[in-house]
Amino acid sequence: MNTKDVLINWHEIANIWDDFVEYSPQGTIFAKTDFIHALGVPFQIITVYCKQKIAAGTVVLFSEDGKILPAPFPFTPYQGILLTDNSHKTAHKRNSEEFVIVTWFIEQLIDKFQTLSLAHSWELQDIRPFQWYNYHIPEKKKFEVQLRYTGILKLTNFDNFDFYLNCIRAVRRQEMRKAINNHLSVKVSDNIEILEKLHREVWARQGIENTEEESKLLQAIAEKSLAKGFGLLKVCYLDAIPVSAILFLLDRKRGYYMFAGNHPEYRESGGSTFLLLDLIAECFHRKLQEVDFVGINSPNRGDYKLSFNPEIKPYFVTHLNTN
């Protein structure tokens, strides 16, 4: 590929970007402008054009004083390079073209901003352009590459939800039956206060301090997602007591297990598992392709998510080391 045919647009139009995100293999809800606006920070949409079509792009987040924010931004696991859908091309041609485009793109970004910090979708597995930056100049700055994991449940691998249920860990089915026997019920809700309260309970139980900034960000994301129709909040009740709440984000491809909270006195009720399975069933009903469990990067929480039978997917955070 000849980069003479490549142009960069430093300020892409929002609706053009959102359309690109829809069909990019690396596109997620976290790259959509409605979600990004909820973060409350300045941002810039940058795209690369080849033959008058977008070949690649990214969103860069800034602090109020204009500095690039380190990735991943809170509650934003993927904010990295997106590529056009090249699945129709042969592997050798696709790999070669994408390598050239990404290499050229990050060089332009660094020339402009002097630094770069991105968290990439699990669908971007070739990070050689980052690993090989300044490869032959040892004294110059290099990218630090961090490996992380998420769980992706491919709904298309199962004929239906009932078939899927037979494939999860047995203890989860037992918890589901316990919830049914306890007469728990699930309702769609717009009461973000319930989610916030139960979410704080989880963090307190784990000894994690829930900062005011994080609480405000959770509320902003929840409010924006419900107002714009890309969020689904459900609450599990025992009589009138909310025992669990989960917010899923939704796009054309998948559901995202975004926020969850549980009442500490009803942890053994089976409510959290019952509610999560209800939301997975909703994704089946909507004929979505996948559920993203949004990270399996801590031992206990990661094991719980894996018990619902997702595939483990590695993803990468790349940060230019300026030291």
Domain ranges of the chain: 3-140, 153-315
pLDDT of residue 5: 83
CATH class of the structural domain 3-140:
alpha beta
227 φ, ψ (degrees, to nearest 5):
-70, -35
pTM of the model: 0.95
Q: In what order do the strands lie in the sheet with 254-262?
A: 117-119, 311-320, 143-154, 290-292, 254-262, 241-250, 231-238, 185-188
List of E strands, the chain: 6-9, 43-50, 53-61, 82-83, 117-119, 143-154, 185-188, 231-238, 241-250, 254-262, 290-292, 311-320
Burial of residue 178 (number of CB atoms within 10 Å: 0-12, 13-18, 19+): middle
Average confidence score pLDDT of the chain? 95
Calculate mean pLDDT across residues 202-209. 71
Q: What percent of the chain has pLDDT over 90?
A: 90
CA distances (Å), 237 to each of 109, 161, 162, 182, in order?
A: 49, 22, 23, 10
Tell me which residue has tokens 């990468």. Answer: 316
Q: What residues contact 32, with CB distance under 8 A and at least 6 apart?
A: 18, 21, 230, 251
In order, the DSSP letters of 95-121 are HHHHHHHHHHHHHHHHHHHS--EEE--
Domains 3-140 and 153-315 share a fold: yes
Indicate whether 148 pLDDT > 90.
yes
109 pLDDT band, cuts 50/70/90, is very high
Q: What is the CATH number of domain 153-315?
A: 3.40.630.30
pLDDT of residue 129: 98
| Coil, strand or helix at 84 | coil
Calculate mean pLDDT across residues 190-213. 85
pLDDT per position as a tens digit, 118-144: 999 999 999 999 999 999 998 999 999
Cα distance from N-terminal residue to C-terminal residue, the chain: 33
37 pLDDT band, cuts 50/70/90, is very high
Indicate whether 323 pLDDT > 70.
no
